Amino acid sequence: MKTQVAIVGAGPAGLLLGHSLRQAGIACIVVERTSRARVESRIRAGILEATMTDLLARLGLDARLKVEGLPHDGLTLVNDGAVIPVDIVGSTGKHVTAYGQTEITRDLIDAAPAAGLDIIWEAGDVALHDVDSDHPALTFTVDGVAQTIECDVIAGCDGFHGPSRAAIGGTYCDRAYPFGWLGVLADVAPCHHEVVYASHDRGFALASMRSPTRSRYYVQVGNDERVEDWSDDRFWDELETRLGPDIARGVTRGPSIEKSIAPLRSFVSEPMRRGRLFLAGDAAHIVPPTGAKGLNLAASDIVYLSEALIGWFARGDTAGVDGYSARALRRIWKTERFSWYLTSLMHRFPDAGPFERRMQHAELDYIATSAAAQASIAENYVGLPL
Ligand code: RFL
Ligand code: PHB
């Protein structure tokens, strides 16, 4: 096979890039390791910045988002039971939208045939070749049969565990946190009209939603904890304690339809380009989910990368591709900072003493009483400008 851009990975980054390039008439093929069913069933992020909703609107892929997405004008912090509303629209004029990553992925896959976007599912042994030459290639197997795609450019959108990052051979900056999030999805009405981030002496808790009848909740757990040890009752008890009485009053309990533990980490790989290979999304960076930035960073990478590739293919302009890595990394590092800051502020760290805990309390009390501090959180939460 021959194409202009071979895209590794059919997560949000790969699918958004594919649609952006197809809209500009650029040929591309997406090669994905797993099945369509698997990609569509991964429960992950749920809060979209305007960066993401604007991109979906530009691509004409926001029909369902416009109907089913839930606009949020603010977010809510809780400091040991004390509720701190943070107005996003009031200070930024913009809002965020609750709409699941699973729904975005499904919309993008459903729209692929009409856009002429080919996706090859269940590709085995995907390998990148000759990225330093003008003729890179991807090899893989489908049903045991060896395949090759010759291309002009490879886009590595294969997430944290894919092969693209290693092919760049860059440098890594990494922080693992001494805890993870236990997440539960349940078909019950959300407890609050906005996302709630709660700091409590027993640890962090988060209340989010997917629809008026589907809630997503998380509690901080130690890295040694196992899902099997968390019955639904234990989860709901712990969640309500940490959310505090004012928010817990709204909680409706119900059976969990998904329950899993995700570790938290911060990670950046630099640079994001080598020769004809470009990285985007989780392949290049991971943020802890506090701040809801992982999915949204994938969208901003794709805005930059698609602009760069379209400039190159359509007009022979190499400024965009040459500047891609530096441009994307500036926004990535600021978003890494915000995600790390909110993680550090809201979680219970096992080695923290009374002083560190008092600092968290003091900072949350400052936020509760300072319009400037709230505006800074709102500005970052809604998404920094492109
Ligand atoms: P993805 O979504 O991981 O997609 C990468 C795709 O590449 C495929 N792949 C390969 N394909 C071909 N050959 C190979 N050798 C391949 N190796 C891998 C994978 O199968 C997959 O389909 O990365 P992308 O597109 O960059 O999108 C990024 C987002 O998915 C990610 O940032 C967020 O989901 C992160 N994240 C969360 N972000 C939030 O903002 N809020 C959350 O609540 C939240 N929860 C999560 C998350 C990420 C999780 N991961 C990665 C395990 C919960 C989890 C469990
Ligand atoms: C979610 O809805 O899954 C969610 C919301 C906000 C976050 C992380 C996850 O910060």
Ligand 2 pocket residue status of 11, Cβ below 6 Å: no
**CB neighbours (10 Å) of residue 35?**
11
* Cα(355)–Cα(372) distance, integer angstroms: 25
Kindly report the CA angle at 97 between 238 and 294, in degrees rounded to 5?
Answer: 70
C-alpha 118 to ligand 2 mean position (Å) = 30
Ligand 2 pocket residue status of 46, Cβ below 6 Å: yes
pLDDT in the model for residue 173: 96
**Does pTM top 0.85 for this prediction?**
yes
C-alpha 292 to ligand 2 mean position (Å) = 5
Strand residues in 223-319 grouped as ranges (E):
256-270, 273-274, 277-279, 285-286
Ligand nearest to the CA of 262: 1
Ligand 1 pocket residue status of 303, Cβ below 6 Å: no
Name which residue sits closest to atom 49 of ligand 1, judged by CA: 44
C-alpha 45 to ligand 2 mean position (Å) = 6
Per-residue pLDDT tens over the stretch 196-223: 999 999 999 999 999 999 999 999 999 9
Question: Which residues in the chain land under pLDDT 50?
Answer: none
For residue 256, which phi and psi values (nearest 5 degrees)? Answer: -75, 135
Residues assigned a catalytic role: 72, 197, 289, 293, 381
Ligand nearest to the CA of 122: 1
pLDDT in the model for residue 9: 98
Ligand 2 pocket residue status of 22, Cβ below 6 Å: no
pLDDT in the model for residue 330: 98
Q: Which of 6, 20, 275, 28 is nearest to 126 (CA)?
A: 6
Ligand nearest to the CA of 13: 1
Instruction: Cite the DSSP H helix spans in 347-370.
Output: 354-369
State in Å, rounded, how far the first CA of the chain is from the last one: 35
C-alpha 208 to ligand 2 mean position (Å) = 6
Ligand 2 pocket residue status of 104, Cβ below 6 Å: no
C-alpha 77 to ligand 1 mean position (Å) = 27
Ligand nearest to the CA of 49: 1
Name which residue sits closest to atom 2 of ligand 2, judged by CA: 46
52, β-bridge pairs: none
Q: Give the domains, in start order, of the chain with CATH numbers.
A: 5-70+98-174+265-342 (3.50.50.60), 178-263+350-382 (3.30.9.10)
Residue 64 near residue 107 (C-beta atoms within 8 A): yes
Ligand 1 pocket residue status of 377, Cβ below 6 Å: no
* Cα(1)–Cα(63) distance, integer angstroms: 33
pLDDT in the model for residue 43: 84
Ligand 1 pocket residue status of 291, Cβ below 6 Å: no
* Cα(298)–Cα(287) distance, integer angstroms: 11
Ligand 2 pocket residue status of 289, Cβ below 6 Å: yes
